Amino acid sequence: MATETLVRMANQIATFFHSMPEAERAPGVATHINKFWEPRMRAQLFELIDQGGASLDPLVLEAAEQIRRPERVDAR
């Protein structure tokens, strides 16, 4: 998927959780991505995060350690 689209989607999720109480923010983002993002999308997200994730909302980076890193991606 286009990096731009992926970044926009991740940041949109972060934007929603920004308004939540502090303790729910990062876990909220991570749970959402774990529940709804297919491994290919999460792998691509981690590529960005591993490169520093400059374009990502800081909340996404904060949530990263709670996001499941795909073990292997079948379709690649």
Partner 1 sequence: MTLIQETDYGTPASRATETVTLTVDGFAVTVPAGTSIMRAAVEAGIEIPKLCATDMLDAFGSCRLCLVEIEGRNGTPSSCTTPVAEGLVVRTQTERLKKLRRGVMELYISDHPLDCLTCAANGDCELQDQAGVVGLRAVRYGYDGDNHVFPTTRDGADNFKYMAKDESNPYFAYDPSKCIVCSRCVRACEEVQGTFALTIEGRGFGSRVSAGMHESFLNSDCVSCGACVQACPTGTLMEKSVYEIGTPDRSVVTTCAYCGVGCNFKAELRGDELVRMVPYKDGKANRGHSCVKGRFAFGYASHPDRILNPMVRDKVTDPWREVSWDEAFAHVAERFTAIQAQHGVASIGGITSSRCTNEETYLVQKLIRQGFRNNNVDTCARVCHSPTGYGLGQTYGTSAGTQDFDSVEHTDVVIVIGANPTDGHPVFASRLKKRLRKGARLIVVDPRRTDIVRSAHIEADYHLPLTPGTNVAVITALAHVIVMEGLYDEAFIRERCDWDEFQDYVDFVSDLRHSPEALESVTGVDADLIRGAARLYATGGNGAIYYGLGVTEHSQGSTTVMAIANLAMLTGNIGRPGVGVNPLRGQNNVQGACDMGSFPHELPGYRHVSGDEVRDVYEEIWGVPISSEPGLRIPNMLDAAVEGTFKGIYIQGEDILQSDPNTHHVQAGLAAMDCVVVHDLFLNETANYAHVFLPGSTFLEKDGTFTNAERRINRVREVIAPRNGLADWEVTQRLAQAMGLDWSYAHPTEIMDEIARTTPTFTGVSYDLLDEVGSVQWPCNEKAPLGTPVMHIDQFVRGKGRFIRTEYVATDERTGPRFPLLLTTGRILSQYNVGAQTRRTANVIWHEQDILEIHPHDAEQRGIEEGDLVTLTSRAGETTLKATLTDRVSPGVVYTTFHHPDTQANVITTDFSDWATNCPEYKVTAVQVARAAHRSEWQEEYSEHAELSRRIIEREPIHGD
By CB under 8 A, residue 19 contacts partner 1: yes
Three-class secondary structure assignment of 8-75: HHHHHHHHHHHCCCHHHHHHHHHHHHHHHCCHHHHHHHHHHHHCCCCCCCHHHHHHHHHCCCCCCCCC
Letters for 43-72 (x = contact with partner 1 by CB under 8 A, - = none) are: ---------------------------x--
Q: Which of 22, 51, 54, 76 binds partner 1 (CB under 8 A)?
A: 76
Q: Which of 25, 37, 53, 63 binds partner 1 (CB under 8 A)?
A: 37
